[in-house]
Structure 1
Amino acid sequence: MPTPHVLLGAEASARLRDGIDLLARLVSLSLGPRTGALAFERDDRRKSAELLTSSATIARRMLAIPGRGATAGAMLLRHAIWRTHERLGDGGATTAALTHALLRAGARQVAAGANPMLLRRGMQQGLELACAALQAQARPLDTPERLGGLAHAATGDPALSRVLGEIFGRLGPEAVIRIEEYAASYIAFTVLEGTAWSASMASPLFITDQARRATRFRDARVLVTDQVIDRPTQLIRLLEQVVARRAGPLLILAEDVTGPARALLLANRDRGIIQVVAARPGWVGAERRGTYEDVALLTNAYFFAKDRADVLDTADLSELGHARLAEVDAERLTIVGGAGVPAQIELRRQMVRHQLGAAADEESRRREIERLGRLAGGVGVLKLGAASDSERQVRKELAERFIRFVPSAAEEGVVPGGGAAYLACQAALDAASAAGDEVAAGVGLVRSALEAPMGWLVQNAGMSAPVALAEVRRNGPGWGIDVMHETCVDMWSANVLDAAKVARIALESAVSVAAMALTAGAVVLKRRPVYSRTP
């Protein structure tokens, strides 16, 4: 059985570097649209090896490597890659390539006698200069062509990227996209007008269209509450006002509508006094309150909240919202043409964007992205098919990854892809890296590492990295290698683009991991380390 152990000084740093270097080289092999798959042996050796092309999946599969100290280092990088993927949906392979380059060059500097702490300070300085240079190159993600270029860089699938560019170009980068799988080789999209939420009818007795098992109203009034409505007195005053003023059909969204209150609604509906439908939400957990508030905001309704002790018995017609069209079926509530105030909706979108930036996990990010899309008032349906199940699954995973990271790309814009943006940042570090001291050497580590993503990308495509880099430099900033055609092109003109935020965070993660490994003074190895499949 392994015993607890402590690695100190140079040995601690060296073992961490060994593990990071091994995992970084493995993951870097997945960088770019022309890469081979990594074969991972399965636990059940009777089955064929698993073929992996996703940087995040490769990192996640690595639970340990030879050497306990090296495993600790590999887990540092594994965590950084996975968190970058969780946060942005992309950037894991770039993080690995940059980390590999920083560590290789940094280890040589330390071996030559450089002070690791001064190198770290220089690396941080170089990072700040490079991030500023990245931001200076960024352009807004505001055209279908740029969206398509970003999709092609992320998926490497021309047909899929074209459709993704069209759908996000129409609905915006914060759109809600639902994927429907088809057996035939088929890629297309449709846009569902309005906003849809998971919901169902409080009773099937409210159904008016038996063929569709749905109820649809035009020019509907909307009551929104998170209370259970079970007493007739909660509704009588409001119903009297709606009928007296001929205010139109009534949609009630409540936690539930039961007992005598539901009987009152159905009796008045059956006598032709009022058209009414009651819906109850399908959302759960942390999203409940926010979703009620969003429905109220989009329809300009007052939200009768139970935690404010709002009383439905005295509700007024002026507190109801309005929708040009409202529909409830067994699975969802759809509202089209809500009477919400645009300025207030935009304020809510800004608040949700802030919450998205602070989201701590993938589930929270998904929830906030969906809220943004619904507040935009449209839902896209991506119809996805392929010739085989495996091809369809690959396309679905690529589409899901791109859909997840588009909002992040929209935040800071896009930059030339294929590592060209990093290469163009080198000039911003020239002066600081030429001072001749150890801090300047740290800046130089970052400057030289900025070549790594393009180098790995062209190398993975079977091209010569030194030759490709030399050709790009002859053409100037913004130029790079289109590895699909093996030509040097203006990346803006060719629409080969990367998300500026992904590029920035990948570089920040790489510098953080490399600096930690170079300056580590000790590594404590436990007797029984816990292996986690979730980094």
Structure 2
Amino acid sequence: MSKLIKSGEEARKALEVGVNTLADTVKVTLGPKGRNVVLDKKFGAPLITNDGVTIAKEIELPDPFENMGAQLVREVSTKTNDVAGDGTTTATLLAQAMIREGLKNLAAGANPIVMKKGMAKAVETAVEAIKANSQKVNGTDDIARVGTVSSGDEFIGKLIAEAMEKVSADGVITIEESKTAETYSEVVEGMMFDRGYITPYMVTDTEKMEAVVDDAYILITDKKISVISDILPILEQLVQSGKKLVIIAEDVEGEALSTLIVNRLRGTLNVVCVKAPGFGDRRKEMLQDIAILTGGQVISEELGYELKSATVDMLGRARQVKVTKENTTIVDGSGDKQAIKDRVSQIRAQIAVTTSDYDKEKLQERLAKLAGGVAVIKVGAATETEMKEKKLRIEDALNATRAAVEEGIVAGGGTAYVNAVPAVEKLIGKVEGDEKTGVKIIVNALQEPVRQIAKNAGVDGSVVLEKIKSSRKVGYGFDAYKEVYCDMIGAGIVDPAKVTRSALENAASVSSMVLTTEALVADKPEPPAPAAPAGMGGMDGMY
């Protein structure tokens, strides 16, 4: 296929047009008074959002060279989203500012390679300054503040803080669509997995259609139970002492199931059968997790155990097991605390070495079930369009709070970048030539977020910037929502240090690539196929 090639100034101009087209669309969403962008969808209602990465992913430009510029900046927001989960609009804005200033200097004859070196030094200094100005997250209030600033909604901030407090550091928080218009969170106590009872004949509450077994003994096996004689010895021991049993097996069927149902209905034996969770190797690991949590033993031929020779000592114990049609929850297992701790450490080690995102997610879920618990935030709204928009905001806010717990918080509203400017300006005297130009590019870019937030609030960005810089106070900034100057951290306007850092690093990385570009190569668009003739002579009216 033949190619189109552009080089030099012409190539960089095309890239800049693409960069600006995407960045100008995204940056209107920045800050508490940022606007929304409506994205057309081929199917269903349009999506209304102020999430930078979601908007960037939708933009494709018709000109192949301009599209390259847009896709490069899209990479900035995607990478920032992957690393920190938020700050995508800020990253896009920073990249645009760096590219704009850099291209001006290239046109004036600066050397891009030397300039790139200066930019790298300046970013390193700025990141160190951001880290130095960061504070550790102290308690639920700080988490709520981060969530509030990220989502622009105090209720969402508090909801996330509550959920994080309930499930601890190892817990998992998932976001689901609510069946009502309400947005709320619920916490699953104990270990829950997505398998319900094998037969409804085993329910204890016919109104709720659930089986609740208090002070339960739990038989855990990876075998299929189809003959009652396999489990008869253990059943006899339990019947004599009046104990209640939950069987977690690959399946219970045939004669074994019908015998258990008959005895259950007669009241001879209180038993509930549940299919084992997961598949393959993951199932074996999850059964082992359940065994450790309940202080039992997985009865498996691989481990040298047979069902016929199982004893009561090999069964797990729990204060309560609740089984519905879809889920099973084990509350307050009687497992050894040290054994659970060791298992948690083992799963953590697996998370550290795994490269698959899917495996990491599943391991994280297992860790949460053993150590922290699972909280579910149910997102509700009056319309589906509003619910999708709200769900995106909650996802961003949740990622922001996780990032804040990891690396602490800094002053929000772009103030953290302005606070890093003096440290970067000191570099100007230490470097020479085009390296100095590179440092100045970063100094200018660091001031761009404050300008844009002020502009989106209808205020002159340059005036706001001068006021903040002249105060010379760390953390002093502009509250664009109330349109007042204040101590940002004191006012609860905070950003996660990780988000602030990642946005800057990723913006600088892509910008320096754009500035060192000398030629662009793109596929030549294929000419449109000739249109079919309108009609065929002599065949009027025939189909």
TM-score bucket of the superposed structures, by smaller chain: 0.7 to 0.9
Structure 2 CA distance for aligned equivalents of residues 49 and 207 of structure 1: 44
Match of 2:118 among 119, 122, 125: 122
Match of 2:85 among 79, 85, 89: 89
Structure 2 CA distance for aligned equivalents of residues 344 and 215 of structure 1: 29
- Structure 1 residues 332 and 13: alpha-carbon distance in aligned structure 2, compared to 1, 3 A threshold: same
Structure 2 CA distance for aligned equivalents of residues 134 and 302 of structure 1: 50
Contact 2:147 2:400 (8 Å CA) reproduced: no
Match of 2:424 among 420, 426, 429: 429
Structure 1 CA distance for aligned equivalents of residues 15 and 353 of structure 2: 30
Aligned 1:94-493 pairs, distance under 5 A = 94-172=90-168, 174-177=171-174, 179=176, 181=178, 186-232=182-228, 234-240=230-236, 242=238, 246=241, 248-270=243-265, 272=267, 274-281=269-276, 283=278, 288=283, 291-303=286-298, 311-342=306-337, 345=340, 367=362, 370-382=365-377, 385-386=380-381, 390-437=385-432, 438-473=434-469, 474-493=471-490
Aligned to 2:24: 25
Instruction: Tell me the secondary structure at the aligned position of residue 220 of structure 2.
Output: strand
- Structure 1 residues 137 and 196: alpha-carbon distance in aligned structure 2, compared to 1, 3 A threshold: farther
- Structure 1 residues 319 and 43: alpha-carbon distance in aligned structure 2, compared to 1, 3 A threshold: closer
Aligned to 2:68: 72
Aligned to 1:533: none
Aligned to 1:500: 497
Of 89-98 and 175-184, the range deviating more from structure 2: 175-184
Q: Deviations over 1:106-152 (max 9, x none)?
A: 22232233222222233333333333333333333342211211111
Of 369-378 and 284-293, the range deviating more from structure 2: 284-293
Aligned to 2:510: 513
The structural deviation recorded for 1:236 is 4.0
Aligned to 1:59: 56
Equivalent residue letter for 1:69: F
Of 90-99 and 316-325, the range deviating more from structure 2: 316-325
Contact 1:224 1:296 (8 Å CA) reproduced: yes
Contact 1:230 1:261 (8 Å CA) reproduced: yes
Contact 2:220 2:248 (8 Å CA) reproduced: yes
Structure 2 CA distance for aligned equivalents of residues 58 and 86 of structure 1: 15
Equivalent residue letter for 2:331: V
Contact 1:171 1:380 (8 Å CA) reproduced: yes
The structural deviation recorded for 1:216 is 0.9
Instruction: Tell me the secondary structure at the aligned position of residue 97 of structure 1.
Output: helix
Structure 1 CA distance for aligned equivalents of residues 77 and 327 of structure 2: 36
Q: Normalising by structure 2, report the TM-score.
A: 0.83
Structure 2 CA distance for aligned equivalents of residues 348 and 409 of structure 1: 27
The structural deviation recorded for 1:510 is 0.9
Structure 2 CA distance for aligned equivalents of residues 285 and 460 of structure 1: 53
Q: Gapped runs of 5+ residues in structure 1?
A: 530-535
Structure possessing the higher radius of gyration over alpha carbons: 2
Structure 2 CA distance for aligned equivalents of residues 496 and 285 of structure 1: 48
Instruction: Tell me the secondary structure at the aligned position of residue 75 of structure 2.
Output: helix
Aligned to 1:523: 520
The structural deviation recorded for 1:285 is 8.7
Equivalent residue letter for 2:160: L
- Structure 1 residues 333 and 42: alpha-carbon distance in aligned structure 2, compared to 1, 3 A threshold: closer
Q: Normalising by structure 1, report the TM-score.
A: 0.84
Q: Deviations over 1:24-72 (max 9, x none)?
A: 222122111211233556779xx99865422122112212x24311111
Structure 2 CA distance for aligned equivalents of residues 306 and 482 of structure 1: 65
Equivalent residue letter for 1:156: G
Contact 1:134 1:421 (8 Å CA) reproduced: yes
Equivalent residue letter for 1:153: V
Equivalent residue letter for 1:56: V
The structural deviation recorded for 1:157 is 1.6
Instruction: Tell me the secondary structure at the aligned position of residue 459 of structure 2.
Output: coil
The structural deviation recorded for 1:176 is 2.7
The structural deviation recorded for 1:311 is 4.8
Equivalent residue letter for 1:477: V
Q: Deviations over 1:260-311 (max 9, x none)?
A: 3434544554565542212125656996555444434433444456876865
Instruction: Tell me the secondary structure at the aligned position of residue 252 of structure 1.
Output: strand
The structural deviation recorded for 1:332 is 0.7
Contact 1:200 1:282 (8 Å CA) reproduced: no
Structure 2 CA distance for aligned equivalents of residues 448 and 242 of structure 1: 76
Equivalent residue letter for 1:31: L
Equivalent residue letter for 1:499: P
- What is the root-mean-square deviation in Å for CA atoms of aligned residues? 3.5
- Structure 1 residues 48 and 376: alpha-carbon distance in aligned structure 2, compared to 1, 3 A threshold: closer
